[in-house]
Amino acid sequence: MDSHTIEFEINGKRASLEVVSHRTLLQVLREDLHLSGTKEGCGEGECGACTVLVDGRSVTACLTLAVEVDGCSVRTIEGESEGPDLSPLQEAFVKNHALQCGFCTPGMIMSARALLERNPSPTEDQIKEAIAGNLCRCTGYRPIIQAIREAAARRKDQSAKG
């Protein structure tokens, strides 16, 4: 099987890996790098549980080949915060009860992160649009939308102050 050496940045750290060409980014993240926070819900690009950021854009890792991220910067849920601290987005999810079983949560947070990075003050419709590819069977989405709104508002407050 033909394999390639790829180099990329994962959550701010450089990584160099030998990967077989048909392996997906999801497999490489979970199995080779042991970053199991990114989940698999379908393996066919339809549920969003595997959402990660590649150069700031949200992608479904199950449909992305690992070789495609050669030279890119990849961010997963493990890069969202460190130690005992939570990012404002994660805090907003907790406070707004935006999770139940938690299986969609990592992917949901990554989609929200991508949205807030390109649009710091999204409307409710823009939020719905941004997470429309992330299925959640538990929460009914309303608390998730609320959490993203709140995180956006807090960011705006902070940048206004700063």
Q: Where does this chain bind other proteins (CB under 8 A)?
A: 30, 35-44, 46-47, 49, 76-78, 80-81, 86, 90, 93-95, 97, 99-106, 109, 127-129, 131-145
Contact set for ligand FES, span 79-108 (CB under 6 A)? 99-104
User: Using CA atoms, how far apart are residues 152 and 34, in angstroms rounded to an integer?
Assistant: 31
User: Using CA atoms, how far apart are residues 40 and 15, in angstroms rounded to an integer?
Assistant: 22
What does 150 bind: other proteins, ligand FES, none (CB cut-off 5 to 8 Å by kind)? Answer: none
Look-up of token digits 């992330």: 134
* CA dihedral over 112, 26, 87, 99, signed as positive or negative: positive
H helix or E strand, kind and range, residue 27: helix 25-27
What does 142 bind: ligand FES, other proteins, none (CB cut-off 5 to 8 Å by kind)? Answer: other proteins
CB of residue 137 to other proteins, shortest distance in Å: 5
User: Using CA atoms, how far apart are residues 11 and 42, in angstroms rounded to an integer?
Assistant: 24
CB of residue 109 to ligand FES, shortest distance in Å: 11
- Residues making contact with ligand FES (CB under 6 A): 40-43, 45-50, 60, 62, 99-104, 136-139
